[in-house]
Amino acid sequence: MWEYGGYAGKFLRLDMTNKKASTVPLTKEMARLHLGGNGFGAKILYNELKPGIDPLGPENKYVFASGPIQGTMVPTAGRSGVFTKSPLNGLFFDAYGGGSFGPEMKYAGWDAVIVEGQAESPTYVTVYDDKVEFKDASHLWGKYTFETQEIIKKDLNEPKAQIACIGPAGEKLVRFACTIWGARAAGRGGNGAVLGSKKLKALVIRGTNDVEVPNVDEFLKTVSEQYAKILANPGTGKALPSLGTPGVTTVQNQLGILGTRNWQTEVFEGTEKISGTAMRERLVVKDKGCMACPIYCTKLVHVKSGPYAGTIDEGPEYETIFAFGSNCGVDSLEMIAKADRLSDDIGVDTISAGAVISFAMECYEKGILSKEEVDGLDLKFGNQEALIQMMHKFGTREGVGDLLAEGAARAAKKIGKGSEKYAITIKDIENAGHSPRGMKGYCLGMATSTRGGSHQDGRPTGERVGKFDRKILDGKPEYAMGTQRTTTLQDSMCVCRMTEGIYGLTEVTNDHLNMINVVTGMNLKLPELVDITDRIWNVERSFNCREGARREHDVQAIRFMTEPIPDGPSKGMYSPKDELEMLKDKYYELRGWDKTTGIPTKDTLKRLSLNKQAEDLYK
């Protein structure tokens, strides 16, 4: 065992320019202060990237990282993350995927893989334990992600290898391209374009090492308790196994917070046709689980008839049903499954892809984009055929696909004519499928988050299930900070959001602590763990502040701050800017950030042992 349990004890550095691999030892201090996952990603990128660099240039880096629990049977430890400077907004971005890529990386003996530089020609890299090889990927360039993985497995005779790869969208530098391993996506923020810029088509990993823990009996006891809790809980023991995340679709609509037609309203008349129940009855052929997970929330679907017959897809998840369904005015689950499968094949984030199309649909219906400007497509809400054609254009950047491949915020700037207010983005990241207008705490959590338009920092769950009143302002700065602490911790452990109701929804708990201690033997105390989450959050914040992000960037999409929800159960709700600014004052105070600038204060940074950040931000 390394100094602590769970860790491999070293990082792999891949220099794509010179095709060289090297080893970076993991230090005890790094593990103890930054834990893993986003802690490693943020620390590495903060230290190694110069501010102002081009996200798609050779100076940017891309980090695959796991936490200490990956490779063990801690529930949902199959997850792992990727970290880079986002091509959508030039800020720190982290994205995560399930499956078993992260554990395999650990079995190969690596806690993280740092990809840097830029190859001259398409390349893929194989990592078999300590043996690393750079290989020609010319024959793979242009291939879809699933085909890429199949070819590599066959060529190498390695059917059990884990392969992270990009599709044509990553190669074409589509700014919301993603990374795919198996059929799971590290979806958001455009990380696939960063791999494309480095001409790294795929990273192949196979490992034979063990992951060790200090006391196996104690470990098994703690983990067994968590499995029992998961199975006893109605959400993780019944709801998610039955319907997966699509189960929330009808609930969102019933509350009047289901983004519809580019968020012009939040009630969708076709909800019953795209519900989790409808998907289960019509399309689901198999339930599937990630490594070390008893929930089995993934639904394998098969479209058996109609224009999309033959489509086989892992998913779609709720976010995808929102993005290609209600938000594009589409009530066909079959088309949504087709668009989801295409997203995985091409290698784009389903949330941003759907959001960019819904943005274009609103521009088209309002006469801002003409039929000629959208390549002759009748891009009205609900036009399924046009939507599928748009998806193909992302993979080729042909015609209007080239404009929209830049993401909604950049496209709006190019289009002009007032289209900016129809780009539903926060920090230039397209908004996920939860309503900032209809949930006050989530709204603040998102606005102040590192990732902007992602639902993974500010969280909707506490308000959606009624633990917190979604309509009131009282306590929402505390709620926003609490949920951000738990998401930060979950992302440093690399555990799945499905367990948030088990391990802790709005606070760091002894459940989190016990799992980390039983794996690592660090014997952390709860306040130390809270400090770890705050340290990671402040490194991410410092990265963004160093790039120029300030208080004025912690805002919502224009529509959410100016247009009340027009109808339905949440009619009249929105987030006026003065209300948001008032909540931010209190939030910054809780965080120890300067109220004028939004930068963490020097005292806050020093308290968290972030002396370099304090020096950089207060020169």
Return residues touching another protein (CB under 8 A): 228-229, 231-240, 242-243, 245, 247-248, 250-251, 254-255, 275-277, 297, 317-319, 433-434, 455, 460-461, 464-467, 469-470, 496-501, 505, 569
Q: Residue 321: phi, psi to the nearest 5?
A: -65, -40
Q: Which residues contact 440 (CB under 8 A, 6 or more apart)?
A: 463, 470, 471, 472, 473, 476, 575, 583
Number of neighbours of residue 197 by Cβ within 10 angstroms: 22
48/469 with CB nearer another protein: 469
Nearest distance, CB of residue 214 and another protein, angstroms: 27
30/323 with CB nearer another protein: 323
251/530 with CB nearer another protein: 251
Nearest distance, CB of residue 334 and another protein, angstroms: 21
Q: What is the DSSP letter of 498?
A: G
Q: What is the DSSP letter of 239?
A: I
Nearest distance, CB of residue 243 and another protein, angstroms: 5
Q: Are 115 and 61 in contact (CB under 8 A)?
A: yes
CA dist 521 and 263 (Å) reads 48
Nearest distance, CB of residue 236 and another protein, angstroms: 8
Q: Which residues contact 225 (CB under 8 A, 6 or more apart)?
A: none
Nearest distance, CB of residue 232 and another protein, angstroms: 4
Q: Which residues contact 385 (CB under 8 A, 6 or more apart)?
A: none
CA dist 191 and 62 (Å) reads 8
Name the 3-class secondary structure at 23.
Answer: strand
Q: Which residues does residue 509 pair with via DSSP β-bridges, in sequence order?
A: none
293/390 with CB nearer another protein: 293
57/572 with CB nearer another protein: 572
Amino acid letter, 22: S
457/500 with CB nearer another protein: 500
Q: For residue 312, what is the enclosing H or E element?
A: strand 312-314
Enter the tokens of residue 158. 């390695």
CA dist 262 and 558 (Å) reads 13
80/275 with CB nearer another protein: 275
Nearest distance, CB of residue 423 and another protein, angstroms: 24
166/495 with CB nearer another protein: 495
Q: Are 87 and 93 in contact (CB under 8 A)?
A: no
Nearest distance, CB of residue 94 and another protein, angstroms: 18
DSSP string for residues in 352-363: HHHHHHHHHHHH
Nearest distance, CB of residue 270 and another protein, angstroms: 16
Q: What's the farthest any 2 CA atoms get from each other in the chain? A: 67
Nearest distance, CB of residue 253 and another protein, angstroms: 9
CA dist 42 and 537 (Å) reads 9
Amino acid letter, 48: E
235/521 with CB nearer another protein: 235
Nearest distance, CB of residue 497 and another protein, angstroms: 5
Please report which residue ranges of 110-261 form alpha helices under DSSP H.
Answer: 145-156, 168-171, 191-197, 216-232, 240-243, 248-255
Q: Which residues contact 589 (CB under 8 A, 6 or more apart)?
A: 477, 595
257/363 with CB nearer another protein: 257
CA dist 192 and 167 (Å) reads 8
